[in-house]
Amino acid sequence: MTADLFESVVDVLPSREAMAEGAVLLRGFARRVEAGLLAALRGIESQAPFRRMFTPGGHQMSVAMTNCGEAGWVTDRSGYRYDAADPESGRAWPAMPAAFCELAESAAREAGFAGFSPDACLINRYEPGARMSLHQDRDEKDFSAPIVSVSLGLPAIFLFGGAKRSDKPQRYRLEHGDVVVWGGPSRLFFHGVAPLAEGEHPALGPKRINLTFRKAR
């Protein structure tokens, strides 16, 4: 009984794991605000639905995306960019909810990047089989700001490489409520997500949602 209680407490206690210089995994950091995040997400989705975008090479991504904040990340045949308007509707992206901003700012502070003020939040939705190939995040203007990445729903294997595409990635299992903060010397490291395994999450069903907060402009 006591051991069970201890284990369930350990399970929800935030902890910190260094991934590289400038990159830290804050396990469970978003758990305390998950209800607020999920409620805000439903509002965003109703204004700017998830859609599977096309890469400049003409491939449709397996991950569905939307955005909130002043700038949204988009890709189409003409390239990758940040745009103030949702190309599907022509309207501004939904505003960044306070619950999102506060979480991103506090996670960044916890990781040693005080004063992080994101203007963009890319929201990725993975269903079983969806993946993201190794890439760098380099469409932002200022690489001195970190990226804060929040995982919700089904677990995924996050591939975290190095400065060169050929650097062998380490594998991290990211679970519901885990936050990765990533900046400084590893800001431009290659990374990706392995194909999502089948599963059913109690709050989100057969899906993983990833929020990545950036200072884009």
Residues in contact with Fe ion by CB under 5 A are 137
Separation between Cα atoms, residue 193 and residue 186, nearest integer Å: 17
Residue 191 binds to ligand MD6 (criterion: CB under 6 A): yes
What value, to the nearest 5°, has the Cα angle with vertex 110 and ends 106 and 111? Answer: 120
Tokens of 34: 């998950």
- The answer to whether the beta carbons of residues 106 and 38 sit under 8 Å apart is no
Separation between Cα atoms, residue 166 and residue 31, nearest integer Å: 34
Residue 159 makes CB contacts below 8 A (sequence gap 6+) with 134, 169, 170, 171, 191, 192, 193, 194
- In this complex, which beta carbon is closest to Fe ion, that of residue 86 or of residue 140? 140
Which of ligand MD6, Fe ion, none lies near 182, with the C-beta cut-off 5 to 8 A by kind? ligand MD6
Minimal distance, residue 71 CB to ligand MD6, in Å: 16
Residue nearest to Fe ion (CB): 137
Q: Is the dihedral of CA 109, 189, 74, 51 positive or negative?
A: negative
Residue 53 binds to ligand MD6 (criterion: CB under 6 A): no
Residue 30 binds to ligand MD6 (criterion: CB under 6 A): no
- In this complex, which beta carbon is closest to ligand MD6, that of residue 80 or of residue 92? 80
| Residue 35 main-chain phi, psi, to 5 deg | -65, -45
Residue 132 binds to ligand MD6 (criterion: CB under 6 A): yes
- In this complex, which beta carbon is closest to ligand MD6, that of residue 92 or of residue 139? 139
Minimal distance, residue 171 CB to ligand MD6, in Å: 13
- In this complex, which beta carbon is closest to ligand MD6, that of residue 86 or of residue 137? 137
Minimal distance, residue 127 CB to ligand MD6, in Å: 12
Residue 186 binds to ligand MD6 (criterion: CB under 6 A): no
- Please return the burial class of 90, using the count of CB atoms within 10 Å of its CB with bins 0-12, 13-18 and 19+: exposed
Of residues 163 through 182, those in contact with ligand MD6 by CB under 6 A are: 180, 182
* Residues making contact with ligand MD6 (CB under 6 A): 124, 132, 137, 147, 149, 158, 180, 182, 191, 193, 210, 212
